[in-house]
Structure 1
Amino acid sequence: MKLTTTASAQQPADGIAGWAAGLVDTLGGPGAGLAIALENLFPPLPSEVILPLTGFAAGQGVLSLASALFWTTLGSVVGAVALYWIGVLVGRERMHTLWGKLPLVKASDLVRTEEWFAKHGTKAVFLGRMVPVFRSLVSVPAGVERMPMPLFVGLTALGSLIWNTALVLAGYWLGDRWDVVGTYVGVLSKVVLGLAVVGVIAYVTVRMRGRSEDRRSS
């Protein structure tokens, strides 16, 4: 049965949904896994579209529910490991060099960040897999800090399984209303991104004020 030609269902013929549907139609579970692996590497590809659509496909008999969960979780791990190795290749020395060239930052800020990750990195990797936007980003510092690979893979797989299961099952249960999931998760993504932007603005403002005070005191 072809997902894109199911008469009784909403037909995801265009855009990212159409692309993901084509992968699932052609490759089944591995296609869903490939889509999620690419979503990890290119965050603009939304998991809130791909995962519910995969659940919908499982409900239509294109693939089994177990296959959907297995392959999407495997895809999440593969994509995360690729980003982890980018962090490894960047390394601490290069990261410090790049950081030192950025305006409004201090070397001590990066040191504190590294200390925080050393203390809370396991929670960050696990919980980060369930937070839109940061799902992909959290893998890079894990690589920079050389988190043990078995630990990273285990935390990533567990966190991804929880997130993927929630969205795949939502699409499975909602049927041809699978796209409703993307609406709500999309709102959450915007909230998270908005908070991150506010945090950056607040950080820059504090830095600018600190520099102004230093100049006045000198």
Structure 2
Amino acid sequence: MVEKFAPMIPSYVTLMLLGMTASDGACLVMTILATATGSLVSSIGWYGIGRVLGEERVEAAVARFGKYAFLSSRAYGRLACAYRRNRFWVTLMGQTVPVARVYLALPAGVLKLRPASFTAATTLGILLWNTPFLTLGYALRGSNHDPVNVGFWASIALIGLEMTILLGLRLHRSMTK
């Protein structure tokens, strides 16, 4: 939960380290559920902040304080713009993008996305992000592999896969027009 409000350590490192501490498969499943719940609660917190403050106050706060939380006005604007096009898929896929996943819920709250749809997409996206890293950590427990290095390359592979899917969808859309 803290990872989304104070993003100091990359989540893939934290998740891999947590996966390495799971003693058995049942513990791994509980760790997946616990981390997903914490991340979802944080996302709902950001959503609530956006919804309560509204567009003008959030934009002013991001402009003034965003640099302290690694959120520029430009990045916030891109997140908000993306939401106007496809809310469910942006929410789901955004949970698998390292920086976007932390603040994605803020513009969702400002734009007053339907809570049920937001929660469903966020939960699926969180599980898509957390599960591979926790499982990889679990698989590497007791080995001599560096979890930071492995987590970094696993993150790059996931982002590459995501970009390939998005480019494929874009190409498909342009060909069907």
Q: Does 1:152 align with 2:118?
A: yes
Q: Is the 8 A contact 1:171 1:177 kept in 2?
A: no
Larger radius of gyration: 1
Q: Percent identity?
A: 28
Contact 2:92 2:122 in 1 (8 A): yes
Aligned residues: 144
Call closer, same or farther: CA 1:175–1:80 in 2, change over 3 Å: same
The amino acid across from 2:96 in the alignment is M
CA contact (8 A) 2:4 2:39 kept: yes
AA aligned to 1:136 is V
Q: Any idea what SS the aligned residue of 1:132 has? A: coil
C-alpha contact 2:17 2:147 (8 A) present in aligned 1: no
- Which one of 124, 128, 139 corresponds to residue 162 of structure 1? 128
Aligned twin of 1:180: 146
TM-score, L = length of structure 2: 0.68
Contact 1:125 1:156 in 2 (8 A): yes
Out of 9, 13, 19, which is 1:55 matched to? 19
CA 1:99–1:43: 2 relative to 1, 3 Å:
closer
CA RMSD after TM alignment? 2.9
Match of 1:82 in 2: 45
Q: Which amino acid aligns with 2:86?
A: H
| Structure number with higher relative contact order (C-alpha < 8 Å, ≥ 6 residues apart) | 2
User: 1:100 Cα shift?
Assistant: 9.1
Segments of structure 1 that go 5 or more residues without pairing to the other structure are: 1-36, 102-109, 193-218
User: How far is the alpha carbon of 1:73 from its aligned partner?
Assistant: 0.8
- Note the alpha carbon deviations across 1:63-122, whole angstroms, 9 max, x for none: 712111111111110111111112112202324666899xxxxxxxx6x97554222232
Partner SS, residue 183 of structure 1: helix
**Structure 2: segments with no counterpart, 5+ residues:** 65-76, 160-177
8 Å contact 1:41–1:79 — kept in the other structure? Answer: yes
1:138–1:173 CA distance, 2 compared to 1 (3 A): same
Give the structure-1-normalised TM-score.
0.57
- Structure 1 residue 177 displacement after superposition: 4.2
Partners of 2:82 and 2:90 within 8 A in 1? no
What is the alpha-carbon distance in structure 2 between the residues aligned to residue 45 and residue 65 of structure 1? 21
User: 1:56·1:175 contact (CA, 8 Å) conserved in 2?
Assistant: yes
